[in-house]
A and B are shown apart, each in its own frame.
Chain A
Amino acid sequence: MTSATASNTASNTGSKSASKTASAPVLDVDALLADPATEIIVCCGSGGVGKTTTAAALGLRAAESGRRTVVLTIDPARRLAQSLGLTELDNTPREVHGIDTSAGGSLHAMMLDMKRTFDEVVIAHSEPDKAEQILANPFYQAVSSSFAGTQEYMAMEKLGQLKSSADDWDLIIVDTPPSRSALDFLDAPNRLGSFLDGRFIRLMTAPAKLSGRAGLKVFGFGVQLVSSTLTKILGGQMLQDLETFVSALETMFGGFRERADVTYRLLSQEGTAFIVVAAPERDALREASFFVDRLEADRMPLAGLVVNRIGQVAASGLTPAKALSVAEALDESGGPRSATNAAGVLRLHAALVKTAERQRELADRFTRAHPGIPVTHVPALSRDVHDLESLREVGNALAGA
């Protein structure tokens, strides 16, 4: 579709919903992007709602309006990655070409490689021989590539790194990992941390510290039983791998926790803005609700809600009821081909209006529960969003332009 029609229909839908949801303040995306005090924008939301798309569209719009921007994406759709020039996962921001830099801005983008980010942290924080030992350990390999929460932790880690090397950019836009719950992004790093602080870890590190299994006695009698049971179930080799892993990592744990804490604090600072993305569906909006409450409780700075992929209605002034009754009359009259087509077009229109109404009602319900939260609506484009042109369209819609 041409961008002209898209923005027409977008503002069309926008103005209609604005009159119905008068109580929802409008999320002023351009003001947010233009404000030099905005340094980090985090796009959160439940799975598949359009977090990556929104992050990329915001990044493009910010860059074209003069900000030096970097977008940290996570698992982008392949064709979107290609159009951002992200052909390989090399864990460093690459400049995106083909954008309008006349306002003095620039756009870099990167895809997060979780395992590599983890490896880099290990290498940076341990002696070379120790690092090698950790990297080769099967437990480390499992934790760094599949532990639930590692992706979230590493996204935060990467954000911290980007922030401290901020010479090339003044705005960082962060996408968050696909997860069922938007809250995972806030909770997962902590989960990793509290595991690392757990009793079992201390138990496992005891023998290494006190030279030999005799050391376990400090924990009392039960330990021998634990140890022999574990050996019986896991086999001696696995238990030994485990002990190596735990004791090798132990020296770094402080580092991990501290870094997670630092980044977490970064997220609650003034320069950060959370944008919650939701699809106009019950489940996604419910998740968005939870997330908004949580940000409030944690005093994290929320900029507003994006309701993405709202059904578009291009023809105004024809109610579904009227459209359907005319369609029926046309069908019954058994008229020419054009009558069948007209009936089809009317049925389609009725379905579109009904969908849009249901979606608007769901969005209104969110606003009634969270009256002060600024909202912006993005229409569903008739194609997937994976080139710069359609990202611009989404950017326009985000800004209500």
Chain B
Amino acid sequence: MTSSPAVPRSDVRLHIVTGKGGTGKTTVAAALALALAGHSQRVLLAEVEERQGISQTFDVPPLGPEETRVARTASGGEVVGLSVEPKRALMEYLQLFYKLGRAGRILEKFGAVDFATTIAPGVRDVLLIGRVYEANRRRLDGKHKGQGPPAYDALVLDAPPTGRIGRFLGVNSEVADLAKVGPIHSQSQSIMRLLTSTQAQVHFVTLLEEMPVQETLEAVAELREKGLHPGFVVVNMVREPLLDDAALEQARAGRLHRSSITNQLVEAGVKATPGLVDGLMTEARDHAHRVDLEREQLELLTASGLPIISLPALPEGAADSGSIRQLADLIATQGMV
């Protein structure tokens, strides 16, 4: 189902994963990070909503504000997890760029830190992305300049949902407009340069249902408008139809051959009452409708022109590291990394 992506894969360092709430953003971000690490890479996986999604997904203790390894791959790659916390990010930022240790504490005491991280327009988002931006620039030696090897080969951001992604990623240009001069201004400009470069791609996780697909298509348009680069559409929790196309066709039209199915059932020793057979026919027809609806949605996604990969609904859910590995393999074999 894949076609060649708009941007050559090798260029992409920052993968931003969005999608409607509950579609599997965190799960897919984790699997993508693991798939990238499978190429013996060092990968940072960052979440920004303070929900401990990463630690739950990888079955590890809750992440503190430090970058902590959460998984290793056979090839020697690793996934490092980070739960970005805005207050902490602000303090680190002040320290890093202004050596403002004491003033930082006073800002905190006067509630300015709370203010900045909750209500000042966009500052919270700038800090969250800024933290990822910083990790992207960092070299292995911990410095932020020079030509040394980078601290991370790739970064995956488990981003806010489609309803907020445009604002979240666009916030830096808004803030750059708001703060017309000064360090916040130049910081937000450089972040925007990274986000709109070919090094960054936004991936969309969706189910084959109307609302998440609608939101995906709207977000794709919005982000393109803002100069960001949509990457892959990941169709998650896919269930294969349980009837083949010919049977679906008949079921939809209510023409599944009733008497022969009844005969088959009777021969196999099932007490095929008319009520039972009616019920089975209804189930088959509803299933056909559901499959139609899903195919309509898939067509809408295909029309967006973005490469699509699909991940199955795992019967036991996906909340453990074994499932994540399974999904990571599927991501790799479908050519997303």
Contacts and interface: CB of A to CB of B under 8 A. Distances in A.
A252 interface: no
A316 interface: yes
Contact of A230 (B112, B256, B275, B282): B112
A229 B268 contact: no
Name which of A138, A199, A340, A345 has the most chain B CB atoms within 10 A of its CB. Answer: A345
Contacts, number: 196
Interface string A331-364: 0000111111110111111011000000000000
Contact of A318 (B247, B263, B276, B284): B276
B280 A330 contact: no
Interface residues of A, number: 70
Interface stretch (B70-78, B147-155, B209-217, B321-329): B209-217
Nearest to B277: A315
A78 interface: yes
A105 interface: no
A9 B282 contact: yes
A369 interface: no
B276 A317 contact: yes
B121 A178 contact: no
Nearest to A235: B182
Nearest to A200: B111
A279 B115 CA distance: 36
Contacts of B181: 235, 237
Interface in B258-283: 260-261, 263-265, 268-271, 273, 275-283
B276 A316 contact: yes
A226 interface: yes
Interface stretch (B57-65, B133-141, B285-293): B285-293
Interface of B is mostly: helix
Nearest to A203: B110
A173 to B, nearest CB: 21
Interface stretch (A25-33, A139-147, A155-163, A254-262): A139-147
B21 A48 contact: yes
B180 A344 contact: no
Contact of A344 (B110, B114, B184, B244): B244
A195 to B, nearest CB: 6
Contacts of B178: 138, 238, 241
B203 to A, nearest CB: 20
B119 interface: yes
B106 A222 contact: yes
A234 interface: yes
Name which of B100, B110, B114, B246 has the most chain A CB atoms within 10 A of its CB. Answer: B110
B270 A226 contact: no
Contacts of A78: 214
A1 B106 contact: no
A93 to B, nearest CB: 24
B185 A235 contact: yes
24 contacts: A77-B210, A147-B118, A148-B118, A178-B163, A200-B111, A200-B112, A200-B114, A201-B111, A203-B110, A229-B107, A232-B182, A234-B184, A238-B182, A242-B120, A312-B283, A315-B276, A315-B278, A318-B276, A326-B265, A335-B264, A341-B243, A345-B280, A351-B242, A383-B289
A-B pairs, top 4 by smallest CB distance, nearest first, are A315-B279, A142-B121, A235-B182, A200-B111
Given A226-B107, A338-B264, 7 more contacts: A141-B121, A195-B118, A229-B100, A229-B107, A234-B179, A237-B181, A326-B269
Interface of B: 20-22, 51, 94, 98, 100, 102-103, 106-107, 109-112, 114-115, 118-122, 163, 167, 178-185, 209-211, 214, 242-244, 246-247, 250, 256-257, 260-261, 263-265, 268-271, 273, 275-287, 289-290, 293
